[in-house]
Amino acid sequence: MNKSPVPKGLTPPQLIEYRIKELGDWRGELLAEIRALIKTADPGVTEDWKWNIPVWSHDGLICTGETYKNHVKVTFAKGAKLDDPKSVFNASLEGNARRALDLYEGDKIPKVAFKALIKAAVKLNQEKPVKRKA
Protein backbone atom coordinates (compact mmCIF):
# COMPACT_ATOMS: atom_id res chain seq x y z
CA MET A 1 0.00 0.00 0.00
CA ASN A 2 1.73 3.14 -1.23
CA LYS A 3 1.11 6.56 0.21
CA SER A 4 -0.75 9.38 -1.52
CA PRO A 5 0.04 10.37 -5.11
CA VAL A 6 3.30 12.25 -5.50
CA PRO A 7 3.61 15.85 -6.73
CA LYS A 8 3.66 16.51 -10.47
CA GLY A 9 6.72 17.78 -12.30
CA LEU A 10 9.39 15.81 -10.45
CA THR A 11 11.97 13.65 -12.22
CA PRO A 12 11.95 9.91 -11.46
CA PRO A 13 14.93 10.17 -9.06
CA GLN A 14 13.19 13.06 -7.29
CA LEU A 15 9.98 11.01 -7.05
CA ILE A 16 11.90 8.14 -5.45
CA GLU A 17 13.51 10.56 -3.00
CA TYR A 18 10.10 12.04 -2.26
CA ARG A 19 8.66 8.58 -1.52
CA ILE A 20 11.56 7.75 0.80
CA LYS A 21 11.08 10.97 2.77
CA GLU A 22 7.28 10.69 2.71
CA LEU A 23 7.40 7.27 4.38
CA GLY A 24 9.50 8.72 7.21
CA ASP A 25 10.04 5.38 8.94
CA TRP A 26 11.94 2.10 8.63
CA ARG A 27 10.34 1.47 5.21
CA GLY A 28 11.83 4.67 3.83
CA GLU A 29 15.22 3.82 5.31
CA LEU A 30 15.04 0.34 3.79
CA LEU A 31 13.98 1.68 0.39
CA ALA A 32 16.90 4.14 0.49
CA GLU A 33 19.28 1.28 1.32
CA ILE A 34 17.88 -0.84 -1.53
CA ARG A 35 18.28 2.09 -3.90
CA ALA A 36 21.89 2.65 -2.84
CA LEU A 37 22.73 -1.04 -3.27
CA ILE A 38 21.23 -1.09 -6.75
CA LYS A 39 23.16 2.02 -7.79
CA THR A 40 26.38 0.59 -6.34
CA ALA A 41 25.91 -2.77 -8.09
CA ASP A 42 25.11 -1.09 -11.40
CA PRO A 43 26.30 2.51 -11.80
CA GLY A 44 24.59 2.55 -15.22
CA VAL A 45 21.14 1.87 -13.80
CA THR A 46 18.24 4.08 -14.84
CA GLU A 47 15.71 5.14 -12.24
CA ASP A 48 12.13 5.49 -13.35
CA TRP A 49 8.69 5.95 -11.81
CA LYS A 50 5.93 3.66 -13.08
CA TRP A 51 2.78 2.32 -11.49
CA ASN A 52 3.36 4.87 -8.67
CA ILE A 53 6.49 2.95 -7.55
CA PRO A 54 10.26 3.15 -8.10
CA VAL A 55 11.56 1.14 -11.05
CA TRP A 56 15.19 0.37 -11.87
CA SER A 57 16.27 -0.59 -15.40
CA HIS A 58 19.34 -1.28 -17.49
CA ASP A 59 18.71 -2.56 -21.01
CA GLY A 60 15.32 -3.63 -19.67
CA LEU A 61 13.53 -3.79 -16.35
CA ILE A 62 15.62 -5.02 -13.40
CA CYS A 63 13.33 -4.58 -10.41
CA THR A 64 10.70 -2.50 -8.66
CA GLY A 65 10.50 -1.28 -5.07
CA GLU A 66 7.07 -1.37 -3.46
CA THR A 67 6.22 -0.23 0.04
CA TYR A 68 3.37 -1.67 2.04
CA LYS A 69 2.12 -1.11 5.58
CA ASN A 70 4.26 -3.86 7.10
CA HIS A 71 6.93 -4.65 4.48
CA VAL A 72 9.00 -3.52 1.53
CA LYS A 73 8.98 -5.69 -1.61
CA VAL A 74 11.67 -5.78 -4.28
CA THR A 75 10.37 -7.60 -7.34
CA PHE A 76 12.79 -8.77 -10.03
CA ALA A 77 11.05 -8.86 -13.42
CA LYS A 78 13.03 -11.87 -14.67
CA GLY A 79 13.86 -13.31 -11.26
CA ALA A 80 12.85 -16.86 -12.17
CA LYS A 81 15.69 -16.91 -14.71
CA LEU A 82 18.32 -15.83 -12.17
CA ASP A 83 20.45 -18.16 -10.08
CA ASP A 84 19.83 -17.46 -6.40
CA PRO A 85 22.36 -19.63 -4.53
CA LYS A 86 22.01 -17.58 -1.32
CA SER A 87 18.18 -17.82 -1.40
CA VAL A 88 17.63 -14.08 -1.37
CA PHE A 89 14.21 -14.45 -2.96
CA ASN A 90 11.53 -15.27 -0.41
CA ALA A 91 8.31 -14.30 -2.23
CA SER A 92 6.59 -14.86 -5.57
CA LEU A 93 8.48 -18.14 -5.86
CA GLU A 94 5.79 -20.00 -7.76
CA GLY A 95 5.66 -17.86 -10.90
CA ASN A 96 7.39 -18.42 -14.22
CA ALA A 97 8.89 -14.93 -14.49
CA ARG A 98 9.13 -12.81 -11.33
CA ARG A 99 10.78 -13.39 -7.99
CA ALA A 100 10.67 -11.06 -5.01
CA LEU A 101 12.31 -10.24 -1.72
CA ASP A 102 9.95 -9.22 1.08
CA LEU A 103 11.61 -7.31 3.92
CA TYR A 104 9.96 -6.59 7.25
CA GLU A 105 10.94 -4.20 10.02
CA GLY A 106 14.27 -5.29 11.47
CA ASP A 107 15.23 -7.45 8.47
CA LYS A 108 18.70 -7.02 7.02
CA ILE A 109 19.35 -7.05 3.30
CA PRO A 110 21.91 -9.70 2.29
CA LYS A 111 23.99 -7.01 0.59
CA VAL A 112 26.55 -9.08 -1.31
CA ALA A 113 23.98 -11.58 -2.60
CA PHE A 114 21.50 -8.79 -3.44
CA LYS A 115 24.09 -6.89 -5.48
CA ALA A 116 25.00 -10.14 -7.26
CA LEU A 117 21.34 -10.54 -8.27
CA ILE A 118 21.28 -6.98 -9.62
CA LYS A 119 24.39 -7.65 -11.70
CA ALA A 120 22.96 -10.96 -12.94
CA ALA A 121 19.68 -9.25 -13.91
CA VAL A 122 21.56 -6.63 -15.93
CA LYS A 123 23.63 -9.34 -17.62
CA LEU A 124 20.44 -11.25 -18.48
CA ASN A 125 18.91 -8.08 -19.95
CA GLN A 126 21.98 -7.62 -22.14
CA GLU A 127 22.02 -11.15 -23.55
CA LYS A 128 20.96 -11.40 -27.15
CA PRO A 129 18.04 -13.72 -27.79
CA VAL A 130 18.92 -16.96 -29.51
CA LYS A 131 17.35 -17.20 -32.95
CA ARG A 132 15.56 -20.45 -33.55
CA LYS A 133 15.69 -22.14 -36.91
CA ALA A 134 12.36 -22.78 -38.56
pLDDT for position 134: 63
Containing structural domain, residue 21: 12-125
> For the segment 68-101, what is each residue's pLDDT rounded down to a tens digit?
999 999 999 999 999 999 999 999 898 899 999 9
Q: Residue 41 sits in a domain of what CATH number?
A: 3.90.1150.200
Indicate whether 21 pLDDT > 60. yes
User: Which string of DSSP letters, residue by residue, matches the chain?
Assistant: ---SPPPTT--HHHHHHHHHHHH-SHHHHHHHHHHHHHHHH-TT-EEEEETTEEEEESSSEEEEEEE-SSEEEEEETTGGGS--TT----BSTTSSS-EEEEEETT----HHHHHHHHHHHHHHHHSPPPPPP-
Domain count, the chain: 1
Average pLDDT, stretch 98-107? 97
> For the segment 24-60, what is each residue's pLDDT rounded down to a tens digit?
999 999 999 999 999 999 999 999 999 999 999 999 9
pTM equals 0.89
Does some domain include residue 71? yes
